[in-house]
Every structure is written in C-alpha cells, then in structure tokens.
Amino acid sequence: QVQLVQSGAEVKKPGASVKVSCKASGYTFTSYAMHWVRQAPGQRLEWMGWINPDNGNTKYSQMFQGRVSITRDTSASTAYMELRSLTSEDTAVYFCAREFWGSHDPWGQGTLVTVSS
C-alpha cells in the first residue's frame, strides 16, 4: 500500500536549520508531486510548498519563500524539507503528503520540530 514514513522528532535552537525526510513506498515516486504542510500547536494546517519529484521543480508559499527548500532523491524515493533560520514560531508538526487529484493523500505520520533555546 502507499505509505509515507517521515524522520523522527527534532529539537533545534533558534537560528538553526532542520531537514525532515519523507520516504515513499508502494507507488512510483516520480509520478506524483509531494507537498509539505505544517501544524503549529492549536493552529490550522499551513501549506508550505511542493516538489515535482520527476524534474525537481518546486513551488513555495510566499510565507516561507527564502527560508524553505524542498528536494528529493529519486534513487531513495525520498523527499526532504529544509527550513532555515528557525524561531520559536516554527515549532510545529511537519507533514509530507502525496498529491492526489490536487489534494493530499496519503499523509506521512508527521515530524515534531521543537525550537527552543
């Protein structure tokens, strides 16, 4: 079955960077875009951007432009999301999600990123 497995929880200091991985299985990795969405405590879901794994093209939300990079390793069927210059407001659960007719299905299990001094 289609499955997305993300890397484990991270604790970072303000100003640092974090890189979260998302390993896909059960389908052809290069055939579907991969999105990244985050959810801060008690907040709504927030779309960050997506990558076309076939050609590496990306599109980012303006809110994160310049601070986020989404990349992929097709040989490992894995997508990555790197967020730089972290502040406490970046404390959130980060999800990857495969594109499905424009929407997102399925989702990874989520990765908690805590930013604290």
User: In whole angstroms, how close is the CB of 13 to other proteins at the nearest point?
Assistant: 26
In the complex, which residues of this chain contact other proteins (CB under 8 A)? 35, 44-47, 59, 61-63, 95, 97, 100-110
- By beta-carbon proximity to other proteins, the closer residue of 87 and 101 is 101
CB of 111 to other proteins, least distance (A): 11
SS3 content of the chain, % helix, strand, coil (to 5): 10, 55, 40
Closer CB to other proteins, residue 35 or residue 72?
35
CB 79 within 8 A of CB 70: yes
Main-chain phi, psi angles of 43, to 5 degrees: -110, 165
